[in-house]
Amino acid sequence: MSSIIQLLPDHVANQIAAGEVVQRPASVVKELLENAVDAQATDIKLIVKDAGKTLVQVIDNGIGMSVTDARLCFERHATSKIRQAEDLFALHTKGFRGEALASIAAIAHVEMKTRQEQEELGTHIVIEGSKFVAQEPAVLPKGTSFAIKNLFFNIPARRNFLKSDHVEFRHVLDEFQRVAMAHPGIHFTLIHNGSETFNLPSSNYRQRIVNIFAGKTNEKLVPVAEETDILSIQGFVGKPEFAKKNKGEQFFFVNDRFIRSSYLHHAIMSAYEGLLRDGMQPSYFLYLQVPAHSIDINIHPTKTEIKFDDEQALYAILRSAVKHSLGQFNVAPVLDFERDPNLDTPYEYQTKSAEYPTIEVDRSYNPFADEVPTRREPTRTASAGSYSNHFSKPAAAPSWESLYVGLKQDTEAVDFSALEMEAEDEIAPSLFNSQETETSTQKTYQLQRKYIVSPIKSGLMLIDQNRAHQRVLYEQYLTNMTVQQAASQQLLFPLQVSFNPVELHVLHELQDGLQTVGFTFDRWENDGVVISGIPMHTNESMIRQLMEEIVHAFQEGLSDSFSQNDTLAKSMARSLAVKNGAFLTDKEMEALVNNLFACKDPNVSPFQKPTFITLSVDEIDKKFTL
């Protein structure tokens, strides 16, 4: 019997490895940027076209590669970072497995240009699907340039699984921001489709954060610093009043490497205990330095999760450091229950002397006297003269007979027998009849401020008020976008909302759709937008949160979204729909029920969740059956 186990060809093995290393264009961006950082570059430029699907190019001024290294770097498990297994626990670089370039070259067209500083000529290599097409010397600047074109050109199935350009570019931005924030001393530039998105000069941690997120980021940062034997913490946390609903501004860096850790995130949330509203997330940008031998970074393919030797100690130190910073900068309220506020001296009384009170004593008062004594004059002292008027004899009261002068003494003029009294049984039925008629017209009730109960012929209907309102608003916004433009209510004072450059880029693309639902933009600025009109029946206080949720929805990508208008309508419906826990009047409940069943698809919400359920009389009867 012949053998059935065979070695895979190199190009097939590389394509399989590429499925683990390269999941989307952002994976290529991450690998190339980290290689440029490891090459000791001080200026890194990232050029992206079509969210990386057409082109991802990284240009750096690092140390470059020789001719041999340029050819060898595309081989699997070829790396300059480690020599033996023990080196895995003493890593100070980014990449180390030597699979990135080999995997990228297997699924894309790669063009590399590199030159070392001491060499006169550099090397130009072209690879297509793991096949070397050309290699020749060339006149090049110092450093390395990687151009990755037509990603997944030989794996159409993988290319079809890529999301829209909005979503893919969001992932590219995430990777770019993480590397740029971890290395503020390097000048980073990002160009997307020919326009410059970021130009981050060399700076410190705080300036780099402000340059990336713009807006009012600088005024909301609270510094955090702590030095211990096992952990060194530097960075910033956000003030509680600037907390958001999304987690877009939460970053942990361990030894200059971005990581995710739900355990450390819980330490931050516990430090903010009592300072945040429900569902709000604080911002934090924390840089942790730990001994290299105390962590293992090789437990996840993308190296965004690491394992600590002593997580409990890190948890306690991090929580204490953040809580101390919030209290030190008067962000967290401090209550001293042992201090008596009545003992505090007012500022205007600090220079005044104390005034001693005078005591008045009635020496003639005898509590054991049998008879009530007559009123006497109080004993006069030097300071009691002013009180003599209070104890003077009151004036005599007028005679009581004078109060009744002029009143008739006889009551015979009033004939009570001529009065007719209404019978009580004639009034009561009319009151109860009107109340019964009034309650019989009420067909809807609110249960726990969450569900609307409505009786129907076959039994009972329970309507989720939040999901029902989402469906109503969703179809209303879609109609405004496709059929007719919605009315807009103008603001007396225009509202300015701050956004970073990435969020402004998303808003520019959504401008037409937002205007059809009622938004009016006065002007666009470098760090935000000025809004002069908002949709009808929208509270002005909700606009900031609404705009942030819309931008976040497009950056993350809502599920089951088929177009930009559909995503926008879903995001606005979810943000503006009446929330569970809100009280509704009878008219509001009735209008919501009528509008729901006037929709094209009243059965489900825009996110395909049921809006109501029905209980038949038979099902209710079964509940009472013993």
Convert the pLDDT of each residue in 529-571 to its tens digit. Answer: 899 998 887 888 888 888 888 887 776 654 444 577 888 888 8
Query: Closest Cα partner for 58 from 71, 48, 49, 67?
Result: 48
Question: If you compute the radius of gyration of the chain from its CA atoms, what whole number of angstroms results?
Answer: 39
Looking at residue 528, its pLDDT comes to: 82
In angstroms, the CA 234 to CA 250 distance is 14
Q: CA separation (Å) from 154 to 106, 109, 384?
A: 9, 10, 109
Which amino acid belongs to residue 462?
Answer: L
Separation between Cα atoms, residue 261 and residue 251, nearest integer Å: 10
What is the pLDDT, as a whole number, of residue 391?
A: 46
Residue 11's H or E segment, with its range, is helix 10-21
Q: What is the pLDDT of residue 60?
A: 94
Identify any residues that bridge with 113 across adjacent strands, giving them in sequence order. 124, 145
**Paired tokens of 37:** 């950082």
| SS3 of residue 346 by DSSP | coil
* 98 vs 558: CA distance, rounded Å: 35
CA angle at 508 for the pair 506 and 510, rounded to the nearest 5°:
70
3-class SS at 124? strand
User: What is the crossing angle of helices 543-556 and 564-576, to 10°?
Assistant: 140
Q: How far apart are CA 226 and CA 318, in angstroms?
A: 9
The helix or strand, by DSSP H or E, that contains position 529, with its residue range, turns out to be: strand 528-535
CA 187 – CA 182 distance, rounded (Å): 12
b/e sequence 232-267, b meaning 16+ C-beta within 10 Å: ebbbbbbbbebbbeeebbbbbbbbbbbbebeebbeb
What is residue 199's predicted lDDT score, i.e. its pLDDT? 92
Residue 424, H or E segment: helix 424-440
pLDDT, residue 507, reads: 84
Distance, CA of 133 to chain centre? 48
- Name the residue among 549, 512, 516 with its Cα closest to residue 535: 516
DSSP code string of 506-519 = HHHHHHHHHHHTT-
Q: Which residue type is seen at 180?
A: A
| Domains of the chain as residue ranges with CATH | 10-200 (3.30.565.10), 205-328 (3.30.230.10), 451-615 (3.30.1370.100)
Q: What is the pLDDT of residue 213?
A: 87
Q: Assign 401 to helix, strand or coil.
A: helix
Contact 83, 98 (CB under 8 A): no
- Report d(CA 183, CA 200) in Å as an integer: 11
Q: How many helices and strands in the chain, by DSSP H and E?
A: 16, 22
Instruction: Report the distance separating Cα 268 and Cα 318, nearest Å.
Output: 7
pLDDT score, position 405: 64
In whole angstroms, give the CA distance from residue 46 to residue 174.
13
Which pair of structure tokens corresponds to residue 537? 């029946």
Tokens of 105: 């070259």
Read off the tokens for 236: 């910033």
Spell out where 180-283 has E strands.
187-192, 195-200, 221-227, 232-238, 250-254, 257-259
| Cross-strand pairs, 455 | 460
CB 172 within 8 A of CB 26: yes
What pLDDT is stored for residue 358 in this prediction?
81
165 Cβ contact list (under 8 Å, min separation 6): 50, 51, 53
**88 touches 133 (CB < 8 A):** no
The residue ranges of the chain whose pLDDT is under 70 are 1-3, 10-21, 77-98, 215, 298-303, 330-351, 354, 370-442, 555-562, 626
- 578/469 Cα distance (integer angstroms): 6
pLDDT at 387: 44
